[in-house]
Amino acid sequence: MPDFIFSQTILYLTLILVLFVPGFFLILGTRMHKEFSLLELFVLSFGSSIALIDFLVIILGKSPLGITRNSIVGGIILFSVICLTVYFIFHRKNKDESSIPAQTISSSRIKKHSTILVITLLFLTIFIKTIYFKDAIFPTSTDLGHHMYWTRVIAVTGELPKYEKVEIQEDFSLGKPSPIADFIIGEHLPFAAIAIISSASVISAFPVITLFLIHLMSILAIFVLTQALFKNSKHQNAIATATLFLVGPLWAIASPQAKFASGGVIGNNIGNLLIPLIILLFLKALIEKKSKTLAYALFLSFGLAYTHHLSTFVFAFIFFFTIIAYAIINHKTILQDAKEWMKLFFSPWVLGVLAAGIIFILFLYTPTYLNTTAIDTAVGAPSKATRTGLTFAELKSTAGEARFAFALLGIVILFFARNLGKYSQAFLIGWIVALTIMSLRPNWLFVDIPSNRVASYIVFPIAIIAAYALIKILTTLKSEGKNYLNPIFLLATFFVFLSFIATSGLYDNALALNDDSSANKALQTYNASEYITKRSDAKDMILKDHNYLAGDSWIKLFTMRGYSYPLSRGYFKRYEDETKQREQCTNFMISTPTTTEAKQCYDGTGTDFIMINPKIDSAQFSRLKEFWQVYSADDIAIFHKAQ
């Protein structure tokens, strides 16, 4: 028990050190804390820390210091001390300035019940997600297993990882390592830093807990962004609270919410935090005409680029469509506005961040996806059925039926909502239009990415716009001085809306809840992995099955013999891909081990251990003399191919 309490304390202190301290001191050092409310400061500190940790660990990895506990902690402390020193030097020169953020003063005027309502919604959000995570906290998910492998590589070697995989060639042999474009270093560095400093095992609750934290911060980011977008509305807080209601306790589990956290979809999770924060900073920079805030937005954009290619790609489209929306809405003033943007852009802060970013990309570390193959993969005519766009019904289901209905209405209202402010209106329209087209008609934009992945990003703007529509309707029905409805009917309307939304959102939650944990089966897989790791070496080749084994992607965290070790029989549909020639060896070697092709595969790859589910796949091996069953448990068996 004392060990558990100690390890928990160290973990939470590490989370604060890695995911809050650097960002907070960055904002303090650049004296931007005055520009934000306390809640904005809280969320921005968190988001900035993720970007800063990425850059810090990359620098350490490229330096002789290496990535160690001392170097990371030392780096964070050094950075914080420098920021603090800059803050005090600047503070002394500007003693007269008020140190109380303007937002805080206005915030205190808002009534107590709003705070209680927001806290209640946050409690419900965390409570419902915790109920879901209860059965998903034990690490078994495939994506998380892949990501934690690279995290462990960084933690074990103290170096930046080489993202490489080995594939089976046409002659059945294993090819030379080739680069992987799908993994982005920023997905792994914060986790590696936490694992190194706290000594927490990657096969524990810490990765999902960290993802839960990031996810909750993304909900708070949406909340503060909504406040900023509707700053001109007298119902600013009501819309923000309604957004929190639509994105917090309701639809709390389905993708991209808690399921993305438990499933280890790290890049999307961080992307869903950074995209709202970047929009918030761009919005503030343009409204308040502050180049320092624009530089901050660019800095976080670089952070996003080092974390997740799909999110960066999506954000680029959001940005592009926002400019178009702005130009259409404000066609009379666009040239004058463009001149002001140029003034903001050509400032020492912005140019400094831009130069630092370019130097970082060109000379220090280039993200793995910035190569021709990866760009070709994402851009062009849709190459698969899953990339040709969703149907309207599918998009409605992804967004949540009730939210979608109100958002449709909200989009119409938005086009006439000039009082919101030209930038707020443009960002909201640009955001929703970009994601709608990317999800429904990707071919119009030459986007070649799985449409359901793109559509998962639409949940946040849909929630904001739906909340806007909901509040707009209710407040219009009860405008100042005139009631269009009898108060009883007004109350009834409110409860009808509430019931419609809550039923839809809670039903979605109920559908997504797990029946049971897969820990039992996964633990057997991990036990078998320990067994095989101790009794084999790199000259042996293991083949495992992904279809019927629980937690199989975590086996490589035991062997630690490369990302492609052990070989894996993937989902059967992968072997029938008409658009791409796939290797068949991993399927043949388990499904039909007696065929000529399978024998060639065994010889070519040197496979001599097979890990399968005995209830499904043992019959074909038990008949063969050259296969020995050397390990047996309820849900996993290991066969050895004797020489």
Partner 1 sequence: MNNRLIILATSFFLLTSFVFLSVIEKKQADINTKNVWMIYFENPKDKSLNFTIENHSLSTNFHWEILADKDSVTQGNSVIANGAKKTIPVSSDGITNKKITVIITSDGNTKEIYKSL
Residues that bind partner 1 (CB under 8 A): 4, 8, 12, 37-39, 42, 104, 107-108, 110, 112, 114-115, 118-119, 122-123, 126-127, 129-130, 133-134, 137-138, 204-205, 208-209, 212-213, 216, 220, 237, 517, 519-520, 523-524, 527-528, 531-532, 535-536, 540, 608-609, 625-626, 628-634, 638, 640, 642
User: Which residues are within 8 A (CB) of 643 and not within 5 positions of it... i.e. 6 or more apart?
Assistant: 608
Choice between 249 and 400, CB closer to partner 1: 249
For the bound state, the minimum distance from the C-beta of residue 637 to partner 1, rounded and expressed in Å, comes to 8
Are 280 and 228 within 8 A, CB to CB? yes
Specify the DSSP class assigned to residue 538. T
Q: Calculate the CA 595 to chain-centre distance.
A: 43
For the bound state, the minimum distance from the C-beta of residue 60 to partner 1, rounded and expressed in Å, comes to 27
Are 523 and 140 within 8 A, CB to CB? no
- Report the amino acid identity of residue 332: K
- Percentages helix, strand, coil for the chain (3-state, rounded to 5) are 65, 5, 25
For the bound state, the minimum distance from the C-beta of residue 534 to partner 1, rounded and expressed in Å, comes to 10
User: Which residues are within 8 A (CB) of 330 and not within 5 positions of it... i.e. 6 or more apart?
Assistant: 337, 422, 426
CB count within 10 Å of CB 81 equals: 12
Choice between 438 and 464, CB closer to partner 1: 464
Choice between 116 and 328, CB closer to partner 1: 116
For the bound state, the minimum distance from the C-beta of residue 318 to partner 1, rounded and expressed in Å, comes to 27
Choice between 288 and 626, CB closer to partner 1: 626
Choice between 8 and 291, CB closer to partner 1: 8
Choice between 289 and 623, CB closer to partner 1: 623
For the bound state, the minimum distance from the C-beta of residue 368 to partner 1, rounded and expressed in Å, comes to 31
Reduced to 3 states (helix: H, G, I; strand: E, B; else coil), residue 630 is strand
Choice between 328 and 642, CB closer to partner 1: 642
The per-type count for the chain, helices as H runs and strands as E runs, is 29, 9
Choice between 112 and 339, CB closer to partner 1: 112
Choice between 360 and 531, CB closer to partner 1: 531
Q: Calculate the CA 175 to chain-centre distance.
A: 32
Say what the alpha-carbon torsion angle 382, 433, 395, 253 is, to the nearest 10 degrees.
Answer: 110
Are 536 and 609 within 8 A, CB to CB? yes
Choice between 149 and 206, CB closer to partner 1: 206
For the bound state, the minimum distance from the C-beta of residue 636 to partner 1, rounded and expressed in Å, comes to 8
For the bound state, the minimum distance from the C-beta of residue 602 to partner 1, rounded and expressed in Å, comes to 15
User: Which residues are within 8 A (CB) of 454 and not within 5 positions of it... i.e. 6 or more apart?
Assistant: 310, 314, 435, 438, 439, 442, 447
Distance CA 322, CA 339 (A): 17
For the bound state, the minimum distance from the C-beta of residue 42 to partner 1, rounded and expressed in Å, comes to 5
Choice between 318 and 528, CB closer to partner 1: 528
483: tokens are: 């009631």
Distance CA 42, CA 32 (A): 13
For the bound state, the minimum distance from the C-beta of residue 33 to partner 1, rounded and expressed in Å, comes to 13
User: Which residues are within 8 A (CB) of 348 and not within 5 positions of it... i.e. 6 or more apart?
Assistant: none
Choice between 136 and 160, CB closer to partner 1: 136
Residues linked to residue 482 through DSSP beta bridges, in sequence order = 479
For the bound state, the minimum distance from the C-beta of residue 500 to partner 1, rounded and expressed in Å, comes to 27
Residues linked to residue 478 through DSSP beta bridges, in sequence order = 483
250: tokens are: 């309701």
Q: Is the peptide bond before 382 cis (omega within 30 degrees of 0)?
A: no
For the bound state, the minimum distance from the C-beta of residue 39 to partner 1, rounded and expressed in Å, comes to 4
Choice between 3 and 576, CB closer to partner 1: 3
Distance CA 505, CA 27 (A): 37
Angle of helix 334-345 versus helix 309-329 axis, rounded to 10: 140
Q: How does 277-286 read in b/e, with b if 16+ C-beta sit within 10 Å?
A: bbbbbbbbbb
Q: Taking the alpha carbons of 329, 330, 335, 338 in that order, is the dihedral positive or negative?
A: negative
Angle of helix 236-247 versus helix 487-512 axis, rounded to 10: 30
For the bound state, the minimum distance from the C-beta of residue 620 to partner 1, rounded and expressed in Å, comes to 15
Choice between 38 and 328, CB closer to partner 1: 38
Strands 637-641 and 607-612, by their bridges, are antiparallel
Distance CA 19, CA 45 (A): 8
Distance CA 477, CA 487 (A): 10
For the bound state, the minimum distance from the C-beta of residue 529 to partner 1, rounded and expressed in Å, comes to 12
For the bound state, the minimum distance from the C-beta of residue 606 to partner 1, rounded and expressed in Å, comes to 13
Choice between 115 and 595, CB closer to partner 1: 115
Distance CA 48, CA 23 (A): 5
Distance CA 628, CA 622 (A): 8
Choice between 57 and 467, CB closer to partner 1: 467
Give the burial class of 110: count Cβ atoms within 10 A of its Cβ; 0-12 exposed, 13-18 middle, 19 or more buried: exposed
For the bound state, the minimum distance from the C-beta of residue 568 to partner 1, rounded and expressed in Å, comes to 20
Q: Count how many Cα atoms sit within 13 Å of the Cα of residue 287 in the half-sphere of its side chain.
A: 20
For the bound state, the minimum distance from the C-beta of residue 34 to partner 1, rounded and expressed in Å, comes to 15
